[in-house]
Amino acid sequence: MRLFVLFLFFCSLNGAFASEREFIIQPNKTTEVYLKDTLSKDLKNAFGLLSRHLAELNKAELTQIINPGPTTRIYLKQNRKLHPDGFKITIRENKMTIEGGTRKGTTYAVVHLLEILGCKKTGPNMGHHGIWEEIAFSCGVIEDKPANDVRIINLYYPEDTEYRDWMRLNTIEEIYPDGYFVHTFHRLVPREIYFQDHPEYFALVNGKRTADQVCPSNPEVKKIISGKLREEMSKQPDKQKWSVSQNDNFSYCQCDKCKNIIAEEGSPAGPIIHLVNDIAKQFPDKIISTLAYQYSRKAPAKVKPRKNVEVMLCTIELHRHAPIETNPECADFKKDMEDWGKICSNIFLWDYTINFNHSISPFPNLHILQPNIQFFTKNHVNALFEQSNSTIGYEFSELKVHLLSKLMWNPNLDFEQEKQSFLPTCYGEGYQYISQYIDALEKNLKETESKLWIYEHPVVHQNGLFQKNA
């Protein structure tokens, strides 16, 4: 079988003109590939990925050369003008140039080409590809970049390197320093060191000092955090984002100074943002990340995060049966989201798409994934963390990870088409029954006006117990 990739399809993302000329990769023949920077991990990874899969598709062999010449046909290089994960593919009759941003753009360009050729990944060590006598691309240019700079799905599937690259996902370790991703007050101001001699460094709650949180308005706390960060940054100089964020509890400080700031700002986030702004000012070449989570979720009325401050906004309290933007129950979060979007252009959205208590039970929330991600991105979210069920045996884990990954890259894709094209590849001949089952769950959810909660037991849905009045 000969594969001809229509140029109008290939270049649909940038609307380039069509051409009848072709770039052809012959089976059982060697094609020279030039890597402009042989030390680049991304270029080497992209070359390996392309080489392995072309060998499977039509037994084509790629060979890496040191110096390009008249017989060189594929060029891999980085382009600093592109988004770090973006890419540009230029195809001429005898030459294909694959350019990527400085992070993983070239790898993602190769993934894009392989997907056009029919290669699919449905999970770690799971996938599909055809076999072709000849591969031909029409000449032209294609460019693409993600809607979100950071795209993380938590749990185990993305631990597989090739699967993660195929899904165009990042990891916490790529972006954040070891130990400084989230909930870092205890690490920055250790209670074991300071609490006994300086309880005033910690939160005053109901008239008593507790080591649960720091006091963000205490000037000595600010000095300790700055010194600790400076020390840690020297150990991990390549990391740009550093978390200065509340511990995972509700014990925020109520000392007189913090209370006054809270009253002025209308939110317990006020003292935290004041602290984080002061820290960020001392490290202008870094990004200081903090949480808008539970008690600090509401945006402050007056203070605005500095440009090098990242706000992690979390959706933990919400039900998952309807889109956030149109669900009246989510009106307070919707306002918080919009308020943060007005004062901060650097928002990390921590979302939850899983039932933590019963991950194998039905949790029909696929229909809200796209509208929620669209809502996030239009409110200045540029980083997404989806805490999801990406583990073997969990409810539709392969499908959900695939859809989330695609949506984080392009929130406006054709969702139904993406879902229906994935089902037969992953689930085989019985996929139509799975599709009907998914539709039946969603239909029943809407008809019974049931809610979905991320810590629920499945028995709450027995006989419609967990309905709109729950």
> Count of CB atoms within 10 A of residue 112's CB?
18
E-assigned strand segments in 108-231: 120-123, 126-128, 134-138, 140-144, 150-153, 202-205, 208-214
CB 176 within 8 A of CB 238: no
CB 136 within 8 A of CB 23: yes
What is residue 76's three-state secondary structure? strand
CB 134 within 8 A of CB 3: yes
| Residue 466: per-residue pLDDT | 52
DSSP 373-414: HHHHHTTTEEEEEEE---STTSTTHHHHHHHHHHHHH-TTS-
CB 154 within 8 A of CB 390: yes
Place of tokens 């598709």: 57
> Count of CB atoms within 10 A of residue 382's CB?
17
| Residue 138: per-residue pLDDT | 87
What is residue 292's three-state secondary structure? strand
| Residue 205: per-residue pLDDT | 97
Q: Dihedral of the CA atoms 120, 123, 124, 129 (nearest 10)?
A: -20
End-to-end CA distance of the chain: 58
What does the alpha-carbon distance between residue 31 and residue 91 come to, in Å, rounded to a whole number? 15
CB 391 within 8 A of CB 155: yes
CB 99 within 8 A of CB 85: no
Alpha helices (H) in 35-159, listed in sequence order? 41-58, 105-116
Token couple for 191: 């209670």
From the number of C-beta atoms within 10 Å of its C-beta (0-12, 13-18, 19+), residue 171 rates as middle
What does the alpha-carbon distance between residue 287 and residue 240 come to, in Å, rounded to a whole number? 6
| Residue 134: per-residue pLDDT | 80
- What does each of the 470 residues of the chain score in pLDDT, given as a tens digit? 444 443 333 343 443 334 457 898 888 889 999 999 988 999 999 999 999 999 988 888 999 999 999 999 999 999 999 999 999 999 998 899 999 999 999 999 999 999 989 899 998 888 877 777 788 888 999 999 999 999 999 878 878 899 999 999 999 999 999 999 999 999 999 999 999 999 999 999 999 999 999 999 999 999 999 999 999 999 999 999 999 999 999 999 999 999 999 999 999 999 999 999 999 999 999 999 999 999 999 999 999 999 999 999 999 999 999 999 999 999 999 999 999 999 999 999 999 999 999 888 899 999 999 999 999 999 999 999 999 988 888 889 999 999 999 999 999 999 999 999 999 999 999 999 999 999 999 999 998 888 999 998 888 877 655 554 44
What does the alpha-carbon distance between residue 405 and residue 151 come to, in Å, rounded to a whole number? 7
What is residue 365's three-state secondary structure? coil
What does the alpha-carbon distance between residue 255 and residue 245 come to, in Å, rounded to a whole number? 19
